Amino acid sequence: MKKLSLKLRFIIYFCIATFATWLVATGISYILSKQILREVFDSQQVLFAKRLASIDINKLHAKDKQLMDIKSKAIKRFEYDDDILSFAVFNLYGKKVFHDDEDGEDFVFNDTVLKQQDPVYMQDTKKWRIIWLRAKNNTIIAVGQEKEYRTEMAQKMAMAQALPWLMMLTLLMIITIFTLSRELAPLNKLAKQLKQRRPEDDSLLQSNNAPQEIQPFIDALNSLFTKISEMIVRERRFTENAAHELRSPLAALRIQAEVAQIATISSAQQKTALSNLMLGIDRASRLIDQLLTLSRLDAENKQLEKEPIDWSALINSEIDLLTPLAHKKQINIDYQVIESNTTAMGVPLFISLLIRNLIDNALKYCPEGSTIIITEDKTSITIEDNGNGVDKETLARLGERFYRPAGIDITGSGLGVSIVKQVIILHHWHISFYNRPEGGLGIKIKT
């Protein structure tokens, strides 16, 4: 059943429930009809018995016209054979003194009617419903009616109500199935639209005629398509960027490797070629590492598992890591804490990447003998240097992927600040770049 469509399952369950309801209603109608007919026919029999008690039985015989009129009046409202109603008359001693020459001769006297105060007594046998009446003329009158007749009449009454309801319920099921098919038509159209959808199609699903209950589902699908589209764009951009940026260093590596393989070059030239080859490998490795890091940050769109940031520990750790490079360029790194930043929450791994890239960029682009000042206060982290700063165009484009200012001969991929900005975006912080009045570049991160 679970493999069937929702529409077909609904139709099956609805038809079963409707038919079951009809059966239960018909059964209840049959039971109520029997109870109503029991009261009606009992009253009819009592009336017939009282009429018999009002005439002189001794002067009548079974085929007497007066007796037949009484019997006909008792059953005239029902178009049925009068054999279903029979009677017999007994004296107080139980002797049968008169009957209707039909089934009345089979009635057996029941003396219970003599023992009770009420002159009317009801008796049920296997075939008959018998009303016993103790008359004032010292006779006991028994009027019987076939139970089969009562049952058939109850069945007819129940079916008279059940058949119209069955036709109406059948019509209701047809209308329901038609309405359901019509209302589900937009879903079928939507399913067809999804089936024919191309993988690269990022257009939103149209939901003009869709039921209101399906709108959240369509909105969720559109949101999913948007996310998938963004992911595809990121992956395509990553692939294009990686192919573009790796082409040059790989070509340079091949050239250096070919130079090192030339047998006629001197030992010094071969050593230089191998040294350049190692530098190229380091550059390519760093580029690949940055590309993978940036790709990971781009894909990190879920809720981050943040924790309190220990800025002092993270900054000192990165300073220790980059100290050899700073000593090589005779650059001093000064870390100052005005007031501890204890309110910031984030991912320590990403914060380490942020700090490392900012300090590394400063070390690369600052001239020898410069000073890098890292300042921590209650709501922000500031990194400043006393280098040459940058022009307005470069300042505005800092953070663009693979962007490197013109005229810069320092090796790099232009991804360091992009990684920083992506970390800032993930943490919902704010970063600003500015030229210091006294010279040099400043970077402020507000947490």
Q: What is the pLDDT of residues 235-269, one digit of tens each?
A: 776 676 566 556 656 666 677 677 777 756 677 77
The lowest-confidence range among 98-112, 153-167, 291-305, 338-352 is 291-305
Confidence of residue 375 (pLDDT cuts 50, 70, 90): very high
What pLDDT is stored for residue 238 in this prediction? 65
Of the residues 241, 264, 298, which one is the last residue of a structural domain?
A: 298
| Residue 305 pLDDT | 74
Q: What are phi and psi of 188, to 5 degrees?
A: -65, -40
CATH at 264: 1.10.287
Q: Where is the domain boundary, 145, 167, 189?
A: 167
Please give the pLDDT value at position 420: 82
pLDDT of residue 403: 59
By the 10 Å C-beta count (0-12 exposed, 13-18 middle, 19+ buried), 361 is classed as buried
Q: Which residue has the higher pLDDT, 302 or 264?
A: 264
Distance CA 260, CA 376 (A): 49
> Token match 């210091």: residue?
436
Domain with 353 in it: what CATH number? 3.30.565.10
Per the CB < 8 A criterion, the answer to whether 168 and 9 are in contact is: no
Residues 17 and 163 occupy one common structural domain: yes
Q: Does 207 map to a domain? A: no
| pLDDT tens readout for residues 23-71 | 999 999 889 988 888 888 888 888 888 888 887 655 555 455 445 555 5
404: buried, middle or exposed (CB in 10 Å: 19+, 13-18, 0-12)? middle
Q: Count structural domains, the chain.
A: 3
| CA distances to 335, 354, 365 from 320, in Å | 12, 15, 19
Selected residue with higher pLDDT from 77 and 426: 426
Mean pLDDT throughout 297-305? Answer: 62
**Alpha-carbon torsion (342, 348, 353, 356), positive or negative:** positive
Q: Hey, which residues does 345 pair with through a beta bridge?
A: 308
Task: Fill in the DSSP letter of residue 303.
Answer: P
Quick one: pLDDT at residue 376? Answer: 92
* Helix, strand, or coil (residue 369): coil
What mean pLDDT is predicted for residues 296-300?
A: 62
Inter-residue contact 320 to 312 (CB < 8 Å)? no
Do the beta carbons of residue 33 and residue 154 sit within 8 Å?
A: yes
The reported pTM is 0.45
Asked if residue 57 and residue 118 are part of one domain, the reply reads yes
pLDDT at 416 over 50: yes
Say what the pLDDT of residue 74 is. 47
| pLDDT-based confidence at residue 20 (cuts at 50, 70, 90) | very high
For residue 201, tell me if it sits in a domain: no
Q: Say what the pLDDT of residue 207 is.
A: 67
**338 and 440 inside one domain:** yes
Which residues constitute the domain of residue 114?
6-167
Least confident of 56-65, 101-110, 350-359: 56-65
Confidence band of 374 (pLDDT split at 50, 70, 90): very high
Name 379's Cβ contacts closer than 8 Å, sequence gap at least 6: 341, 343, 446, 447
Kindly report the average pLDDT of the chain as a whole number: 78
Say if 184 falls within a structural domain.
no
Of residues 241, 247, 276, 248, the one with CA closest to residue 414 = 241
